[in-house]
Amino acid sequence: MNKKQFEKEVARRRTFGIISHPDAGKTTLTEKLLLYGGAIQEAGAVKNNKIKKGATSDFMEIERQRGISVATSVLAFEYKNIKINILDTPGHKDFAEDTFRTLTAVDSVIVVIDVAKGVEEQTVKLVEVCRMRNIPMIVFINKMDREGKDAFDLMDEIEQKLGLRVTPLSFPIGMGYDLKGIYNIHKQNINLFTGASSKDIHSTTAIENLDDKLLDQLVGDKAARILRDELELVTGIYPEFDRQEYLAGDLQPVFFGSALHNFGVKELLDGFIEIAPAPRPKKAEERLVQPNESDFSGFVFKIHANMDLSIGIV
Ligand SMILES: Nc1nc2c(ncn2[C@@H]2O[C@H](COP(=O)(O)OP(=O)(O)OP(=O)(O)O)[C@@H](O)[C@H]2O)c(=O)[nH]1
Ligand SMILES: [Mg+2]
């Protein structure tokens, strides 16, 4: 491989961690993201009965038994010619060491928040570490298929408890029983929620602008009116998205969805590959290692005993 090809390879890599308090839906989201890369045929292994069906990334026996992630799993897939490495971390505080170590290996993170529970204890601790290191963060508000907190209240809570500065890039139309869809602010299209199989990759309907009558037809007059009002508020309250600010750790875009229903996940993934950083220089003991150096370099963040896969390098 010549230098140019090598640099191109480096530039198309995106290594990120998924972090949160236990049970927010990290492993479920990881599985759905993998669907887009065709890495697995069927997601949804976590669901309700986590004991019988093992999730793809919870491959250790103890994880299957307890239905929680104990160690970080690394899963890789390709999407739109980008090579994505996901590090699905355990949320439980007993395994926080593993998660903290993982955070030294990633170039960015996705923070998952349960819409009903809001900002929880472990999330506060993990985000604090990311904030100190200026790691670019995207927030995913999950479980929108359930009744939860109002989107604006929740974003306030995120700003206050996590010390973040947020701006939504997608916005929910209703929630829980009334969840009608997701409006993609950036792309100006609507993804309607059907509650259908989690395997489906939902299609979206583009609308010209918010005054488009198609919006009323798609979600009904009332929901359309509320959405227009809410988006006006969004424009008034939140800063415009700026990639440089995101990369510097000064601004965190927010997406909404339901990992279980594979809903809003595509918006998240498309947004992610557009904005997330490629490998950046890493500080080693002696010096800063550039990602495009020709000598082999890697960051060893964990070593597994008694497995075929013996080291985790990203
Ligand atoms: N209703 C609903 N349930 C969800 C959603 N996403 C995940 N869940 C459920 O939430 C529970 C926890 O999901 P996991 O993906 O294992 O959570 P986790 O964040 O990986 O948990 P730890 O690895 O233990 O930190 C499971 O029962 C999931 O089925 C969602 O969008 N909606
Ligand atoms: Mg998990």
Work out the percent of the chain whose per-residue pLDDT is above 70: 84
Of the pLDDT bands very low, low, confident and very high (cuts 50, 70, 90), residue 50 is very low
Would you say residue 194 lies in a domain?
A: no
Check whether 137 has a pLDDT greater than 60.
yes
Please tell me the total count of domains within the chain. 1
Q: Domain containing 79 — which CATH number?
A: 3.40.50.300
Would you say residue 225 lies in a domain?
A: no
Whether 161 is in the pocket of ligand 1, judged by its Cβ within 6 Å, is no
Would you say residue 161 lies in a domain?
A: yes
Would you say residue 252 lies in a domain?
A: yes
Mean pLDDT of the chain: 85
Of the pLDDT bands very low, low, confident and very high (cuts 50, 70, 90), residue 104 is confident
The parent domain of residue 107 ranges over 3-175+239-295
Whether 259 is in the pocket of ligand 1, judged by its Cβ within 6 Å, is yes
Would you say residue 305 lies in a domain?
A: no
Report the predicted TM-score, pTM, of the whole model to 2 decimal places: 0.89
Check whether 252 has a pLDDT greater than 60.
yes
Check whether 64 has a pLDDT greater than 70.
no
Would you say residue 67 lies in a domain?
A: yes
Would you say residue 111 lies in a domain?
A: yes
Whether 30 is in the pocket of ligand 1, judged by its Cβ within 6 Å, is no
Would you say residue 267 lies in a domain?
A: yes
Of 19, 27, 98, the residue with max ligand 1 atoms within 8 A of its CB, to mutate for a pocket test, comes to 27
| Residue 19 CB neighbours (<10 A) | 30
CB-CB contact of 281 with 290 (8 Å): yes
Whether 23 is in the pocket of ligand 1, judged by its Cβ within 6 Å, is yes
Which tokens go with 55?
A: 């999730």
Q: Of 106, 115, 135, 103, whose CA–CA distance to 255 is shortest?
A: 115
